[in-house]
Homo-oligomer: A and B are copies of this chain.
Amino acid sequence: MKKIVNDVNNVEEEMIQGLVKSAPKKLRKLDYGTIVVRADKKEGKVALVSGGGSGHEPAHAGYVGTGMLDCAVAGTVFTSPTPDQVLEGIKAVATDKGVLCVVKNYTGDVMNFEMAIEMAADEDIKADYVVVNDDVAVRDSLYTTGRRGVAGTIFVHKIAGAKAEQGAELPEVKAVAEKVIANVRSMGMAIEPCTVPAAGKPGFELADDEMEIGIGIHGEPGTHREKLRPANEIAKMLVDQILADLDYKGHEVVVLINGMGGTPLMELYIVNNFVQDYLKEQGIAVYDTMVGNYMTSIEMAGFSITLLRLDDELKGLYDEPADTLAWKK
């Protein structure tokens, strides 16, 4: 394992400290655990809390700020934060309007966020949650019952974040978050694995000419392995599976070409070049496009494609300002 780290058992703490120190006027780390909140708590709005295992940077702390999250709770690498940690995050940002948690669909995450919300209720904090399950690759995988939550999660942060910032009530913020979830689909692939620092060796192995299609953001297995093919063929395979799952025809979409952490922008733009032309052929109009590292798997090499289907409400909220480390608008 070759990594630029100090102590493999302390990467989460040092990383979150380093992240907060990059924007000390905007972000604050709680003393309890690797939990990031806005430097100035915003009252009078539903507080948005997300989180999950570390290793997906900039998710989720990179999305804390005006127009998006109020709090991100990070577990150790690829491991859900504990209920206690989530509770601390909820308590730090809760307002009279309540708290909405945005949870990616992994068994541990869902269980721990549910427990934290129950514990918050005992302290008279009104909290609810939504579960993101945008990955069309597999059902009932290694860590999940049902579909996995992957890069589409950032659109829930963005759009529910905008709704909350407008002063909407908890059921309204939850409803629009669920609308995003109903309209977003993703699928990914990888050509190189990643290594959890404390584990010291890659989570899986691929032959020199092999790729994994449908891979999860923890390197968990996808639909199949095959020989590496040209970028356009790979991108077509992913887009086709997304389009087979949801009817995007005649709708405007936001396209996210997401790098898994170790993929150069060169490759992501080559993929985007194909995807834009291909969607046009399919009669799908692109409203906006994002290309870069938004939901990663440490240094995994690969990418995912996410398509968000828009209506006027989602488009309006998507266009609202956001000021976070990883997404400024």
How far, in Å, is A20 (CB) from chain B's closest CB?
9
Q: Assess whether A175 is interfacial by the CB under 8 Å rule.
A: no
**B-facing mask of A260-286, CB < 8 A → 1, else 0?**
011111111111111011000000000
| A232 beta carbon closer than 8 Å to chain B | yes
Please classify the interface of chain A as helix (H, G, I), strand (E, B), loop, or mixed, using the class held by over half of its residues.
mixed
Q: Could you tell me if A57 and B18 are in contact, using CB atoms closer than 8 angstroms?
A: no
The answer to whether B18 touches A269, judged by C-beta atoms less than 8 angstroms apart, is yes
A145 within 8 A of B: no
Whether the Cβ atoms of B301 and A5 lie closer than 8 Å is: no
- Report B-chain residues with C-beta under 8 Å of the C-beta of A277: 21
* Given A4-B271, A293-B293: A266 in contact with B57 (beta carbons within 8 A): yes
Q: Is the CB of B262 within 8 A of A4?
A: no
Taking a contact as CB atoms under 8 Å apart, the answer to whether B273 and A14 are in contact is: yes
- Are A15 and B228 interface neighbours, CB within 8 A? no
- The complex places the Cα of A291 from the Cα of B61 at a distance, in Å, of 13
| B192→A6 contact, CB < 8 A | no
6 A-B pairs closest in CB distance: A18-B273, A18-B269, A57-B265, A18-B272, A4-B267, A22-B289
Q: A interface vs B, CB < 8 Å?
A: 2-7, 11, 14-19, 21-23, 54-55, 57-58, 62, 191-192, 194, 208-209, 228, 230-232, 234, 257, 261-274, 276-277, 289-291, 293, 296, 298-299, 301-303, 325, 328-329
